[in-house]
Amino acid sequence: MADVFVDNKYKGTVKDPVGFKESIIAERRRGKIEESVNIAYFEEEDKVLVETSSGRSIRPLIVVKEGKSTLTDRHLEQLSKGELTWSDMIKQGIIEYLDAAEEENALVAFFESDLTKDHTHLEISPLDIFGLITTLVPFGNYTQGVRLNQGAKNQKQAVGFYAANYLLRMDMDVNLLHYPQTPLVRSIMHDISNYDRHPSGQNVTLAVLSYKGYNMEDAIVINKASVERGMGRSTYYRPIIAEEVRYSGGLIDEIGIPDKTVRGYRSEEDYKHLGDDGIIHPEAEVGEGDVIIGKISPPRFLSSMDDYSLATDSRRESSLVLKHGEKGIVDFVALTENQEGNKLVQARLREQRIPEIGDKFTSRHGQKGVISLLVPEADVPFTSTGVKPDIIFSPHGIPSRMTVSHMLEILGGKVGSLDGRFINATPFEAESEKDLRNRLKELGFRDDGSETMYNPVTGEQYETRIFVGNIYYLRLKHMVANKLHSRARGPIQLLTRQPTEGRAKEGGLRLGEMEKDTFVGHGASLTLKERFDSDKVVVPVGEKSGLIGYYDARKNNKAVSSVQDEDEEMSDVEISYAFRLLLDEFKALGLYPKLKLKSKF
Amino acid sequence: MVHEKIFKEYEEKIPESLISEVKKHVPEKITEAKLKKVLDEVEKEYRYSLAAPGECVGVISAESIGEPGTQMTLNTFHFAGVSEMNVTTGLPRLIEILDGRKTLSSEIMRIHLKKPYSGGKDLDKVVARLKEITLGDLIEEIDTDLVNSKLVLKLDKNQLKKYNVNSQKVINVLNKSVKAFKFELQGNSIEVLAAEGDADIVQLYKLKEKLKDVYVHGVKGIKQVLVVKREDEHVVLCAGSNLKDVMKLDFVDPTRTMTNDIFEIEKHYGIEAARELIVRELMEVIDGQGLNVNVRHIMLVADTMCMNGKVLGINRYGIVKEKSSILARASFETPIKHLVSAGLMGESDALSSVIENVMLNQPVPVGTGLPGLVIKTAKKK
């Protein structure tokens, strides 16, 4: 007697759970029961689980009967002619969807040749264990799963040719690769996904070699001449958007060059790039602090306008200005209106990004790295045929990560470029290593891909042969130009008077709680105090009330108690402004924070 | 010993354990001058290794445990001995101990046996006596009879025999623990009927699940029992812990039997035993991960957890709650609660510890910030 649960609710018992399960499955294959219904029997717990709910992940498999696939050559023929469709095959019970629970009862063969009498299902393609992007990793079945995941993740961040109409688009924060190429070593997914129409990398020559210690810790050394020829070059596009927003009371923003009477007017110099309409000229070179679109907004609070409307212009200047560290060339200006009919101005900035030290590159196998050196071509090692690699990749990245597919791609890329053909590297169906090696030998190279190389400085031959080949390399969107930052002195926050945080605000690097603990651990008490002096203030505190007073300008800046008519002794106390703020917040809570003063000495 | 007098002289300067160690290593015929030289050197080393006044031992302990803690793997289970008995180790166990959690993710008892049993005698009986037997263990099958709305429990004869339980005892236990149903013995099975009226299908299913867990025999709480041989003696490892009941059994050696439940130890043996267990358990986790933390850091943590006479976790319900400074408590989780209650009670903060002084931008009273002037200056008029 097995318990039966439908969608995890107890419904009753059955005498013959296996027969029950099989009859349900048979009914489903005949189309009498919905295809998404799954059933599983668990012998140890003696229970049958029937699932009909939504939100489970289910996947299609070919049904196997008596050790033979129900999908025959005849079906394939019909499929290619278009006489048979996917849903027809489900209706005929050739393909069915299993969920995680029903898979527990199934024995799924990976290849058709593996089929035995015990098998219940067959994978449609072994590629099913990978996702779409993971299938783009060539020779993926040779490498550990973790690396494939990383390889797939890296490809999503690659700089490429994302859309052909990029000149007409206003995308936020995009990069465009200048000379994109289609990979020589490719999988079936490159064809299925039309990868040739939006490639995102370049085929480069790579040597697995140490170079003066510059490529330690995953750093890569790049041939400067390759960069000068355009390798990895890209353009960064970013729009600046301004809108004439309508406020309550019929007030509206105004795009144009602000009048000198406007509150917050910058210097004339700052508006120099703007045309008469307040919008920047295309092809203007702009930098930090330059106004891109001039804008004037109505005052923030309406009441203030009534009193002074005649005296001064109460409108605010609210132009769009380039922030700290931003620069570029105005590429394109668009004037439109948005859904509400408000005037909308968009200016697109463009900036050429030539690979520099600190930019991130990767192969498709999770072997990412950062440029550590751009070597003049004269100093790049060369092979006996005079080939100089574009990239020098550190051999230490290979053993611990076991990215065999990376090595195979270098080998395959070499054969492909010498042979002038694409190499099929679809996981599980790739050209074999043996074939690639044999072909390389026929082409007059050493079959393991290694070549004799020469020291460019002394002209001496290297003692070891170096592994050289061709591989598809991707430039990733993380570039130092967007991240480099430093600060000595700079802006502070209004509320806490502590330094600002973050690159855009020219902020400092926070000495956090754990960093503070290291100072405490060393007993460096006064050093710690100095580090936290950034928001130091000296305040007068009343000896009697224990409250912070103020300096009265009318009484020659004498310290005065904040308690009315209290004539108490005031003492100057040095505290952090953040603590002063805390005391004020206590008062807001209805608490009386009384400071009891005592001489420090 | 020849130089008793000299050793006596040093007794106030050096701890006893160091003196006895010197005694052990010094040659019998050492001259008085040489021995003094040795002892002076020992004293110097001893003084050097003491923590200096103002040394921030708490922070150093925290860093010394925290830093290797980042390297701990999340591979949490490890198998005690041979079988499938899981023990929580690694980071989750460390957190469990330091949090002072009352319900453990895996309670383990190590039961040592008295003489004839530890040699391997009657181990079957020992196991049968220890293991908690529920009804589910004694039943072959449960049939749900929907027509007569009753359950039929088929007893497993072999299991009954193995654990030395007869069917009448089972009936007695059932009648005592489940009130709303009647239990009748019918040959080899037990029929279960509602005491009044008919039970519906949901009730029967719930009852069925409940019956499986009804306690029949053995020591309550001992879920799994495993006999292992450790250094030519048989030791029983148990999943689940029940110190009180296990100690009552006559074959158990009460002097060596252990549990990993700190609160159980505290309840039966007191706070010092609990402190010792915290140190041992923490060291076991850290050693098990192949890490190296000096035991003194762990001892400081264990002392802190036990200093109030009860085991407190290192969290806002435990030792942080016991802090005297309001600002220090408020800076660690639930600030409003502490501030408002301090305001209501008119409490004052002496600003005597680290966090408060960081908040006020004052030198913290540790290390170089600790010493003050002995002479007070006259207050300016």
Q: What contacts B110, CB < 8 A, 6 or more positions away?
A: B235, B236, B237, B238, B257, B258, B259
Highest mean pLDDT among A96-100, A295-299, B369-373: A96-100
Among the partner-chain residues A518, A586, A601, the one whose CB lies closest to the CB of B373 is A601
Torsion on CA atoms A577, A582, A585, A590, rounded to nearest 10? -130
Whole-angstrom Cα Rg for chain A? 35
Residue B379's φ and ψ, nearest 5 degrees, are -75, 135
Interface test with A, best of B67, B204, B364, B381 (most A CBs within 10 A): B364
Whether the pLDDT of residue B312 is over 80: the answer is yes
pLDDT of residue B71: 83
pLDDT of residue A311: 47
DSSP label at residue B272 = H
Q: What contacts A419, CB < 8 A, 6 or more positions away?
A: A439, A443
How, if at all, do strands A550-552 and A558-560 pair? antiparallel
In order of A18, A36, A94, A115, A125, the CA distances from A109 in angstroms are: 22, 22, 15, 6, 10
In order of A114, B162, B189, the CA distances from B141 in angstroms are: 39, 18, 10
Residues A388-420 have pLDDT tens digits of 999 999 999 999 999 999 999 999 999 999 999
Question: Mean per-residue pLDDT for A173-186?
Answer: 95
Question: Six-digit token pair at A468?
Answer: 């050289």
Residues of A in contact with B371 (CB under 8 A): none
Question: Six-digit token pair at A16?
Answer: 């013959």
Interface test with B, best of A528, A536, A584, A592 (most B CBs within 10 A): A528
Q: Give the SS3 label for residue B124.
A: helix
Using a 10 angstrom Cβ sphere, with 0-12 exposed, 13-18 middle and 19 or more buried, the burial of residue A128 is middle
DSSP label at residue A507 = -
Using a 10 angstrom Cβ sphere, with 0-12 exposed, 13-18 middle and 19 or more buried, the burial of residue A77 is exposed
CA distance A559 to chain B (A): 17
Q: Are A480 and A360 in contact (CB under 8 A)?
A: no
DSSP label at residue A434 = H
Q: How many CB pairs under 8 A join A and B?
A: 93
For chain B, what is the mean pLDDT? 86
Long-range residue pairs from B271-280, CB within 8 A, at least 24 positions apart, any chain = B271/B306, B271/B309, B271/B310, B271/B311, B272/B306, B274/B306, B274/B311, B275/B302, B275/B303, B275/B305, B275/B306, B276/B302, B278/B97, B278/B302, B278/B305, B278/B306, B278/B311
**pLDDT over 90 for what percent of chain A?**
75
Whether the pLDDT of residue A187 is over 80: the answer is yes
pLDDT of residue B77: 59
Nearest chain B residue (CA) to A591: B343
CATH code 3.30.1360 region(s) in chain B? 133-217
Q: Are A358 and A334 in contact (CB under 8 A)?
A: no
**How many CB atoms within 10 Å of residue B65?**
20
Q: Which of B238, B271, B288 is nearest to B93 (CA)?
A: B288
Nearest chain A residue (CA) to B375: A601
Q: Are A222 and A391 in contact (CB under 8 A)?
A: yes
Tokens 């098990």 label which residue?
B288
**pLDDT over 70 for what percent of chain B?**
95
Beta strands in A15-94 (DSSP E): 38-42, 47-51, 59-65, 68-69
For chain A, what is the mean pLDDT? 91
pLDDT band for position A181 (cuts 50, 70, 90)? very high
Q: What contacts A89, CB < 8 A, 6 or more positions away?
A: A71, A75, A95
- Is B367 in Cβ contact with A525 (below 8 Å)? yes
pLDDT of residue B3: 77
CA distance B368 to chain A (A): 6
Residues A495-508 have pLDDT tens digits of 999 999 988 888 99
- Is B201 in Cβ contact with A12 (below 8 Å)? yes
Using a 10 angstrom Cβ sphere, with 0-12 exposed, 13-18 middle and 19 or more buried, the burial of residue B27 is exposed
pLDDT of residue B216: 85
Nearest chain B residue (CA) to A579: B360
pTM strictly above 0.80? no
**B63 touches A: beta carbon within 8 Å:** yes
- Is A586 in Cβ contact with B339 (below 8 Å)? yes
- Is A589 in Cβ contact with B343 (below 8 Å)? yes
Whole-angstrom Cα Rg for chain B? 30
CA distance B221 to chain A (A): 23
Q: What contacts A51, CB < 8 A, 6 or more positions away?
A: A7, A37, A38, A39, A40, A99, A101
pLDDT of residue A306: 53
Cα–Cα distance between B123 and B116 in angstroms, integer? 10
Structure ipTM: 0.80
Positive or negative torsion for Cα A183, A186, A190, A194: positive
pLDDT band for position B300 (cuts 50, 70, 90)? very high
Q: Which of A400, A418, A395, A392 is nearest to A185 (CA)?
A: A418
Cα–Cα distance between B229 and B233 in angstroms, integer? 6
Question: Mean per-residue pLDDT for A279-301?
Answer: 88
Question: Six-digit token pair at B223?
Answer: 């879920």
Question: Six-digit token pair at A129?
Answer: 């264990």
Which has the higher per-residue pLDDT, A323 or B98? B98
- Is B141 in Cβ contact with A1 (below 8 Å)? yes
Interface test with A, best of B149, B353, B360 (most A CBs within 10 A): B360
pLDDT of residue B301: 95
pLDDT band for position A289 (cuts 50, 70, 90)? confident
Cα–Cα distance between A13 and A24 in angstroms, integer? 15
Whether the pLDDT of residue B83 is over 70: the answer is no
CA distance B27 to chain A (A): 41
Q: Are A60 and A124 in contact (CB under 8 A)?
A: yes
**B56 touches A: beta carbon within 8 Å:** yes
**How many CB atoms within 10 Å of residue A67?**
11
Cα–Cα distance between A225 and A200 in angstroms, integer? 21
- Is B63 in Cβ contact with A518 (below 8 Å)? yes
CATH code 1.10.150.390 region(s) in chain B? 323-369
Tokens 């009552």 label which residue?
B248
Among the partner-chain residues B359, B360, B364, the one whose CB lies closest to the CB of A520 is B364
Question: Six-digit token pair at B165?
Answer: 């339980």
**B340 touches A: beta carbon within 8 Å:** yes
Cα–Cα distance between A290 and A115 in angstroms, integer? 70
Among the partner-chain residues B56, B202, B360, the one whose CB lies closest to the CB of A521 is B56
Cα–Cα distance between B237 and B246 in angstroms, integer? 12
- Is A520 in Cβ contact with B59 (below 8 Å)? yes
- Is A533 in Cβ contact with B379 (below 8 Å)? no
Q: Are A573 and A597 in contact (CB under 8 A)?
A: yes
- Is B339 in Cβ contact with A516 (below 8 Å)? no
In order of their start, the domains of chain A are: 2-124 (no CATH), 136-233+357-475 (2.40.270.10), 235-353 (2.40.50.150), 534-588 (3.90.1800.10)
- Is B377 in Cβ contact with A599 (below 8 Å)? yes
In order of A280, A292, A331, B348, the CA distances from A334 in angstroms are: 11, 13, 10, 63
Question: Six-digit token pair at B209?
Answer: 């699940």
pLDDT of residue B2: 66
Instruction: Indicate the helix (H) or strand (E) that contains A547.
Output: none
Q: Burial letters for A376-405: b for 16+ Cβ neighbours within 10 Å, e otherwise?
A: eeeebbbbeeeebbbbbbbeebbeebebbb
Residues A25-75 have pLDDT tens digits of 999 999 899 999 999 999 888 899 999 999 999 999 999 999 899 999 999
CA distance A532 to chain B (A): 7
Torsion on CA atoms B177, B178, B184, B188, rounded to nearest 10? -70
**pLDDT over 70 for what percent of chain A?**
98
| HEC sequence for A170-227 | CCCCEEEECCCECCCEECHHHHHCCHHHCCCEEEEEEEECCCCCCCCCCCEEEEHHHH
Residues A351-389 have pLDDT tens digits of 999 999 999 999 999 999 999 999 999 999 999 999 999
Kindly write down the DSSP assignment for every residue of A217-281, as one continuous string.
TT-EEEEHHHHHTTTT-EEEEEEEEEE--B-TTS-B-EESPPPTTSBT---GGGGTTB-TTSBBP
In order of A176, A253, A411, B187, B357, the CA distances from A259 in angstroms are: 39, 14, 66, 104, 51
Nearest chain A residue (CA) to B372: A601
- Residues of A acting as catalytic residues: 218
Q: Burial letters for B334-361: b for 16+ Cβ neighbours within 10 Å, e otherwise?
A: eeeebbeebbeeeeebebebbbbbbbbb
Residues of A in contact with B377 (CB under 8 A): 599, 601
pLDDT of residue B58: 93
How, if at all, do strands A202-208 and A320-321 pair? unpaired
- A→B interface, C-beta within 8 Å: 1, 3, 10, 12-13, 516-518, 520-526, 528-529, 532-533, 535-536, 574-576, 578-579, 582, 586, 589-592, 596, 599, 601
Whether the pLDDT of residue A276 is over 80: the answer is yes
| Domain boundaries B133-217, corresponding CATH code | 3.30.1360
Residues shown for chain A: 601
Q: Give the SS3 label for residue A407.
A: helix
CA distance B33 to chain A (A): 39
Question: Mean per-residue pLDDT for A279-307?
Answer: 81
- Is B55 in Cβ contact with A10 (below 8 Å)? no
- Is B369 in Cβ contact with A599 (below 8 Å)? no
Residues of A in contact with B202 (CB under 8 A): 10
| Domain B323-369 annotated CATH 2.40.420.20 | no
Positive or negative torsion for Cα B289, B292, B296, B297: negative
Q: Burial letters for A584-595: b for 16+ Cβ neighbours within 10 Å, e otherwise?
A: eebeeeebebeb
Q: What contacts A386, CB < 8 A, 6 or more positions away?
A: none
Q: What contacts A432, CB < 8 A, 6 or more positions away?
A: none
